[in-house]
């Protein structure tokens, strides 16, 4: 068989949702199933890439054939991404990373208080791992900067599609990534579902041409995204 279009390339995919512990039994989590990240990893493997898969909590198994690292929290995911990024051609940040974590983690289960007072949880910001990967790359010498392509995801709950696009463009700029996969979410949309609807935004987009959108199963959409990544790597 012919070598696939990503033969010789290393693709790192993050997937699933981070869990931020409150105490030994409780956490703050999110509805990410890991299905889109798993589908992206499979599509990259099918294209011949070596795939490093950094998995936070997932409802589905990690695909066979990946180099798997399991993480729980955003800070653990950050360490794993930093370690993988320098030797990746492509970084795909499909994981749903908690923006906040509890400022402290109790070593024992938080108990109901005798005085009836409600417990208070203070949240602190997690680092933006995607933005950090972009910053890290910009410090490298020209020509050696890796990953060559950094892909972010944006799950937006807005319903007016023009607003969602606008928001996506702002996020692309703010994070500085090379491609942003925008999808519309709600509790019954996208998260945990097998089908999805995405729009691909790039800093090179012209305002007058509508960006490409794809609807289909997460597998179909993953193949489209990997196809676009192949094009971007060829053009680079």
Distance (Å, rounded) from C-alpha 30 to C-alpha 17?
Answer: 6
21 Cβ contact list (under 8 Å, min separation 6)? 27, 72, 73, 102, 105
Least Cβ distance, residue 77 to ligand C5P (angstroms): 8
Contact between 128 and ligand C5P by CB under 6 A: the answer reads yes
Nearer to ligand C5P, 10 or 73 (CB): 73
Q: Which residue is it, tokens 């417990």?
A: 119
153 near ligand C5P, rule: CB under 6 A = yes
Let me know if 57 is exposed, middle or buried by CB neighbors in 10 A (0-12, 13-18, 19+): buried
38 binds ligand C5P (CB under 6 A): no
Binding of ligand C5P by 93 (CB under 6 A)? yes
Pairwise CA distance, residues 174 & 172, whole Å: 6
Site string for ligand C5P, 64-83 (x = CB under 6 A): ----------x---------
91 forms beta bridges with 12, 150
Question: Closest separation between CB of residue 198 and ligand C5P, Å?
Answer: 12
Interaction of residue 182 with ligand C5P, rule CB under 6 A = no
Site of tokens 């807005």: 158
14: tokens are 């993050």
126 counts as catalytic = no
CB of 129 to ligand C5P, least distance (A): 3
CB neighbourhood size of 22 (10 A): 18
**Is position 127 annotated in a ligand binding site?**
yes
Q: What is the DSSP string of 138-165?
A: HHSPTTT-S-SEEEEEEEE---SHHHHH
Site stretch for ligand C5P (CB under 6 A), options 83-91, 106-114, 146-154, 215-223: 146-154
DSSP character at residue 135 = H
What is the closest distance, in whole angstroms, from the C-beta atom of residue 3 to ligand C5P in the complex?
A: 29
By the criterion CB under 6 A, which residues form the site for ligand C5P?
74, 93, 95, 97, 99, 126, 128-130, 152-154
Residue ranges for the known binding site for CTP are 99, 109, 127-130, 153, 171, 175
- Supply the residues annotated as catalytic: 30
């Amino acid at each position: 068989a012919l070598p696939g279009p990503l033969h010789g390339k290393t693709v790192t995919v993050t997937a699933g949702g981070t869990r931020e512990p409150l105490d030994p039994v409780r956490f703050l989590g999110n509805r990410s199933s890991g299905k889109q990240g798993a589908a992206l990893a499979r599509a990259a493997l099918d294209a011949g890439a070596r795939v490093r898969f950094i998995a936070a909590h997932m409802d589905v198994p990690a695909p066979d054939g990946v180099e798997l690292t399991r993480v729980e929290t955003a800070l653990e995911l950050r360490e794993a991404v930093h370690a993988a990024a320098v030797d990746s051609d492509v970084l795909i940040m499909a994981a749903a990373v908690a923006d906040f974590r509890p400022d402290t983690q109790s070593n024992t289960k938080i108990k109901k208080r005798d005085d009836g007072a409600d417990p208070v949880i203070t949240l602190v910001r997690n680092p933006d791992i995607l933005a950090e990967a972009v910053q890290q790359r910009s410090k490298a010498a020209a020509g050696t900067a890796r990953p060559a392509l950094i892909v972010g995801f944006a799950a937006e709950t807005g319903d007016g599609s023009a607003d969602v696009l606008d928001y996506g463009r702002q996020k692309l700029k703010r994070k500085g990534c090379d491609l942003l996969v925008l999808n519309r979410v709600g509790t019954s949309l996208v998260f945990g579902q097998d089908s999805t609807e995405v729009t691909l935004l790039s800093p090179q987009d012209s305002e007058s041409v509508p960006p490409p959108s794809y609807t289909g199963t997460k597998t179909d959409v993953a193949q489209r995204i990997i196809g676009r990544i192949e094009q971007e790597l060829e053009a680079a």
